[in-house]
Amino acid sequence: MNIIEITPAIRYVGVNDRSTPRFEQMWPLTYGVSYNSYLVCGEKTALIDSVEIGEYDALMDNLCEAGIDTVDYLVVNHMEPDHSGSIPVLLDRFPQMKIVCNKISAEQIKGYYHLKDISRLHVVADGDLLDLGGRTLQFVTTPMVHWPETMMTFCREDSVLFTGDAFGCFGALNGRYLDTQMSDAELETYFSEMYRYYACIVAKYGRFVQGAMGKTAALGYAWICPTHGPVWHRCIERVADIYRRLSLYEPEEGVTLIYGSMYGHTAELADRLCTALAAAGFRNIHVHNAANAELCDMITDCVRYGTIVIGSPTYSMDIFPPVAALLRALKVREMKNRVTAAFGSFTWAMGALPKITQELTDMGLAPSASMTMKHAYSCEIEEIINKFVNDLRQADIKEKR
Ligand code: FEO
């Protein structure tokens, strides 16, 4: 039973998923994930967001144990199926229930779930209010956080903001649902998962996150209820600060070094570069072998830290495919404010380095240092490594001024 009171009128009734191995079939759910639903009870009852269809029974168990036999409104803040999947069965289960949605989500509901009876829809616009009798819901459209229809819902009397994916994180909720119930150690796991979640799911939409944060700031909320992860109250400032920094592409000090290697020569170069970077004073260095690492972890470090070093052997006159995939993921996320460097290796023709350089330059992140290696490491390369690291150091210092 995942039910907890947030305020006398608002309860958490969400579910945990520890079975799905990958979110969106791509991102590892190391600690599971929660799909959060909330009940707001005035004279009428509203359910804020539903859950992934496989977890519908668990949601119904929660409603039953919460003593709820009627839901008057289902507020759809976000239509991605991890939150909207239960809409058709909820419509059947509660024949009088109206779906509260905006114009865009109304179209998506009709398209995804073949809803014919549009009298079941209560369409709202930005700023509209819904009186539940003793509790008032205010709707705030926040497009592209994370889809175009996304909106947030504010319960005025309780100062609770239901934020959809924004301020969410991976990680199932292990018997505690509110940050006020959790130890600092427990919270650190969720903060770490917040970086992963932001990098994988939200990072492309930084400017929209900024817009949403600006738009909701004046509401004066005391609780953040996202669709994934803990309910935030005592950590609101830290959570908002993480999302503010990430959405502005503000980096933390650190280096992400990502390389590919087929037979170990580029790997050796990466290892030697790593040692030289540390000797030159770079701190917080994170190294990934792109062929083995999770794309998710590589993106997360690039989204989090200020310096990115990328290396690849030449593969069919191109970038080694796992490294190319990482570059593509960075491009999709419109990375900004990073100092970059590139290195490549080849046997008979230099294909990878010019292409990495071009990719980074196209993103507005032209490398400040670059180097290439033919065949294998030899001690003559040491001088080239030193120049590479020195160039990167100078660019790093300049960036921090
Ligand atoms: Fe949790 Fe964008 O869905």
- What is the CB-side half-sphere exposure of residue 237 using CA atoms within 13 A? 1
Indicate if ligand 1 lies below 6 Å from the C-beta of 146. Answer: yes
| Tokens, residue 195 | 């970086």
Q: What pLDDT, on the 0 to 100 scale, is given for residue 2?
A: 76
Q: At residue 6, does pLDDT exceed 70?
A: yes
Task: Confirm if 3 and 66 have CB atoms less than 8 A apart.
Answer: yes
Ligand 1 neighbourhood includes 76 CB (under 6 angstroms): no
* pLDDT at residue 111 in the model: 97
List Cβ neighbours of 241 (8 Å cut-off, separation of 6 or more): none
189 pLDDT above the threshold of 80: yes
- Is pLDDT at 399 greater than 90 in this prediction? no
Per-residue model confidence (pLDDT) at position 398 = 85
Q: Whose CA is nearest to atom 1 of ligand 1?
A: 165
How far apart, in whole angstroms, are the C-alpha atoms of residue 299 and residue 87?
Answer: 33
Token readout for 146 is 């994370």
Could you give the dihedral angle defined by the CA atoms of residues 206, 208, 209 and 211, in that order, rounded to the nearest 10 degrees? 130
Please check whether residue 14 is in contact with residue 47, taking contact to mean a CB–CB distance below 8 angstroms: no
b/e string for 261-295 if b means 16 or more Cβ within 10 A? beeebbbbbbbebbebbeeeebeebbbbbbeebbb
The answer to whether 12 touches 160, Cβ cutoff 8 Å, is no
pLDDT in tens, 227-278: 999 999 999 999 999 999 999 999 999 999 999 999 999 999 999 999 999 9
Backbone angles phi, psi at 9, to 5 degrees: -100, -5
Q: What does the DSSP assignment read for 85-105?
A: TTHHHHHHH-TTPEEEE-HHH
In angstroms, what is the span from residue 150 Cα to ligand 1's centroid? 9
Q: What is the largest CA-CA distance in the chain?
A: 79
Assess whether pLDDT exceeds 80 at residue 10. yes
Residue 123 CA to residue 108 CA, distance in Å, equals 12
The answer to whether residues 10 and 164 touch, using CB atoms and an 8 Å cutoff, is no
Count Cβ atoms within 10 A of the Cβ of residue 85 and give its class: 0-12 exposed, 13-18 middle, 19 or more buried: buried
Asked if 157 and 9 touch (Cβ cutoff 8 Å), the reply is: yes
pLDDT tens-digit readout, 193-210: 999 999 999 999 999 999
In eight-state DSSP terms, residue 231 is B
pLDDT score of 1:
66
In tens, the pLDDT along 124-168 reads 999 999 999 999 999 999 999 989 999 999 999 999 999 999 999
Q: What is the mean pLDDT of the chain?
A: 97
Residue 371 has pLDDT above 80, yes or no: yes
Report the predicted TM-score, pTM, of the whole model to 2 decimal places: 0.95
Ligand 1, atom 3: nearest CA belongs to which residue?
A: 80
Task: Assess whether the C-beta atom of 85 lies below 6 angstroms from ligand 1.
Answer: no
Instruction: Indicate whether residue 227 lines ligand 1 (CB < 6 A).
Output: yes
Residue 186 predicted with pLDDT over 70 = yes
